Amino acid sequence: MKKIITIDGPSGAGKSTVAKEIAKRLGFEYLDTGALYRAVALYLRRKGFDEGISDEDLRVVLKDVQIVFNSGHVYLNGEDVSKEIRTPEIGHYSSVFSARPVVREFLLGLQRDFPKHHNTVAEGRDMGTVVFPEADCKFFLDASTEERAKRRYLQLRQMGKEITEEEALKDVIERDRRDSSRDIAPLKKADDAIYIDTTNIDLQQTIDLILKNIEQNCFK
Ligand code: DC
């Protein structure tokens, strides 16, 4: 098995940008597991399904789904859907469907296979607790709800999406509640993860802090 660094945390904590940069600096591959859940949600929405889908139907439908994550892009049955998955609707449904054990089971093998081939920085909600409990180094990135809503708002506006600050805050609160309260693999800091509150520090400071920690504590 190759080296694994995990970065977990709630939405809007800055995980993606930080994980990507850490991977680049270390020469590791970056695995965005939120993108995998989003690709599943996109497939299910395209087929017209919502939260009412039964476990049995989910199992049958997922038999036709192949997801690949490669060099920062996510492919759904061969189609690069990296852009299509970044809408508020798919964000919402990825959180909804990710609470379903059938979906989590479906993505587990895919996630665990990834570091068999590359040293990996894996980002998500349950990387340090469920998917890679034996990771070499674990981080949990957090920030206040208001700060995360502000970042989510700016990010979506930058992507040209129509959203108000109020809607962004509502979305962050709702997703926190759903991602933290689900029965299976809820968003939770692993006991051995290093907690970093990014409310009052910028991305560069967060990256520097993580790199310093990796240098001092990982791969001994
Ligand atoms: O990080 P993100 O916003 O792209 O993730 C989208 C949703 O996917 C998130 O609301 C919860 C779910 N998710 C998960 O349950 N477990 C992961 N490891 C990653 C994401």
Return the ligand 1 atom nearest residue 85 CA.
4
CA angle, 29 then 34 then 36, to 5°: 80
Q: Give tens-digit pLDDT for 46-61.
A: 999 999 999 999 999 9
53 in a structural domain:
no
Ligand 1 pocket test, pick from 95, 110, 114, 151 with the greatest ligand atom count within 8 Å of Cβ, gives: 95
> What is the C-alpha to C-alpha distance for residues 166 and 149, in angstroms, rounded to an integer?
9
Range of the domain at 165: 4-34+88-98+107-211
Once rounded to an integer, what is the mean pLDDT over residues 37-47? Answer: 98
174 in a structural domain:
yes
Model confidence, pTM: 0.94
CB atoms within 10 A of CB 2: 13
- Output the CA 19–ligand 1 centroid distance in Å: 14
Which residue minimizes the CA distance to atom 18 of ligand 1?
124
79 in a structural domain:
no
27 in a structural domain:
yes
20 in a structural domain:
yes
Structure-token pair, residue 112: 């665990």
175 in a structural domain:
yes
Ligand 1 pocket test, pick from 125, 126, 181, 184 with the greatest ligand atom count within 8 Å of Cβ, gives: 125
Once rounded to an integer, what is the mean pLDDT over residues 148-161? Answer: 90
- Output the CA 96–ligand 1 centroid distance in Å: 10
Which residue minimizes the CA distance to atom 14 of ligand 1?
125
- Name the domain count of the chain: 1
Confidence of residue 5 (pLDDT cuts 50, 70, 90): very high
The DSSP secondary-structure symbol of 127 reads I
Structure-token pair, residue 163: 């959203």
Average model confidence (pLDDT) across the chain:
95
What CATH number does the domain containing 25 carry?
3.40.50.300
CB atoms within 10 A of CB 73: 13
61 in a structural domain:
no
Model pLDDT, residue 161? 83
Helix axes 55-62, 101-113, angle to 10 degrees: 30
Model pLDDT, residue 218? 87
168 in a structural domain:
yes
Q: How many residues does the chain have?
A: 220
